[in-house]
Amino acid sequence: MQRVFSGIQPSGVPTLGNYLGAIRNWVPMQEQHESLFCIVDLHAITQFQEPAQLLLQTREMAAALLACGLSPEKCILFVQSHVPAHAELGWIFNCVARLGWLNRMTQFKDKAGKDREAASAGLYVYPNLMAADILVYKATSVPVGDDQRQHLELANDIAEKFNHDYGVKLFPRIEPHILGVAARVMSLRDGTKKMSKSDPSDQSRINLNDDNDAIALKIRRARTDAEPIPGHMLQLEGRAEARNLVGILAAITNTMPENVLREHEGQGFGSFKEVLTEALVAHLSPIRAEMLRLLEDPGSLDAALRRGAEKAEAIANPILAEVKQAMGFLARR
Ligand code: TYM
């Protein structure tokens, strides 16, 4: 049986990008497979997080994931730092992954920016911990947005090298599940940058807790161009912002971008934006309401996360023991 694993950083409120590229695809998976969804706080601290903010954002993330349809009865929802096996296997993988592999990671280059010397060592080995997240459960199916593709390739390289070096068939191959027209939702201010919860500009993204007025304002201000909407996707080449808005409307209304173009061909972006706002508000306002309701009772949220961690540990600990045994670690008896 396939085991599903995915993670999300509590580095802000989840965005429309997280929702369309990942979370929305997690919901049906919990019905069909044993699924683990993890709030990866150890990953979030690879860039400094204010303690009070991290605490708030971790609960907000849990509330958002539940409000989007994850159910603690159907999946294992938990916080990464509650299950120490992640960090332990992450260390082991620091000793398996090669510097040359990490040097090729484009996300490190993006996140570290110009001053690479000032980036944390954690940011550099981030993909090793991510490989550990997945492999400590021997998960095989990982639903993510397009930006995680390279990290998953690295995870497979680590798994393969481990199996080879220790002469075992311990870790399975991971299959990335990169789904849908919205695997890459772009910033509302700059169509060449991905929409991100950690972007300094709040105008660049829709947050899952934005109210209807905020959504309307952000869409009205979203960058577009002066050309009318064309009839074919090919004609959106070189029009990154226009293409992004068309993709968002298609994803949120469960249709293909071609159908959106057919319906709006020849129009300007004024009326298109009204339709987009309406669709977003209809889809997101029930999620926001549920998220706010759940946040009124942090005790219940914490209890659900604790139960999730207990279930996760029951799977991870025996696998970690198997790893240590394969490596020749003296067992603690
Ligand atoms: P994070 O927190 O950046 O994003 C969570 C998920 O949302 C997707 N995503 C997007 N999809 C489409 N358009 C966007 N603009 C957009 N922004 C984000 C991401 O691809 C991701 O699926 N490294 C991961 C967290 C992680 C993880 C893991 C994921 C840690 N361990 C193990 C899978 C398996 C991350 O930073 O996600």
Span 3-184+298-327 CATH architecture? 3-Layer(aba) Sandwich (3.40)
Ligand 1 binding pocket (C-beta < 6 A) is: 5-9, 17-18, 21-22, 40, 43, 130, 133-134, 142, 144-145, 147-148, 183-185, 194-195
Q: Please, which pLDDT band fits residue 333 given cuts at 50, 70 and 90?
A: confident
The predicted model scores a pTM of 0.97
| Sequence ranges of the domains in the chain | 3-184+298-327, 209-293
Residues 280, 247: Cα–Cα separation, whole Å: 13
Angle at 251 between CA 22 and CA 25, to 5 degrees: 25
What pLDDT, on a 0 to 100 scale, did the predictor assign at position 191?
95
Q: Please, which pLDDT band fits residue 231 given cuts at 50, 70 and 90?
A: very high
The CATH number given to 209-293 is 1.10.240.10
Residues 142, 156: Cα–Cα separation, whole Å: 12
- Asked if 12 and 32 count as a contact pair (C-beta separation under 8 A), the reply is no
Q: Going by C-beta distance under 8 Å and a sequence separation of 6 or more, which residues neighbour residue 79?
A: 38, 39, 41, 58, 62, 305, 308, 309
Per-residue pLDDT of 293-302, as tens digits, reads 999 999 999 9
Sheet containing 3-8: give its strands across: 76-79, 34-39, 3-8, 141-143, 175-177
One fold for both 3-184+298-327 and 209-293? Answer: no
Ligand 1 centroid from CA 166, angstroms: 31
What pLDDT, on a 0 to 100 scale, did the predictor assign at position 293?
98
Residues 220, 151: Cα–Cα separation, whole Å: 35
Per-residue pLDDT of 148-199, as tens digits, reads 999 999 999 999 999 999 999 999 999 999 987 788 999 999 999 999 998 9
Residues 196, 9: Cα–Cα separation, whole Å: 11
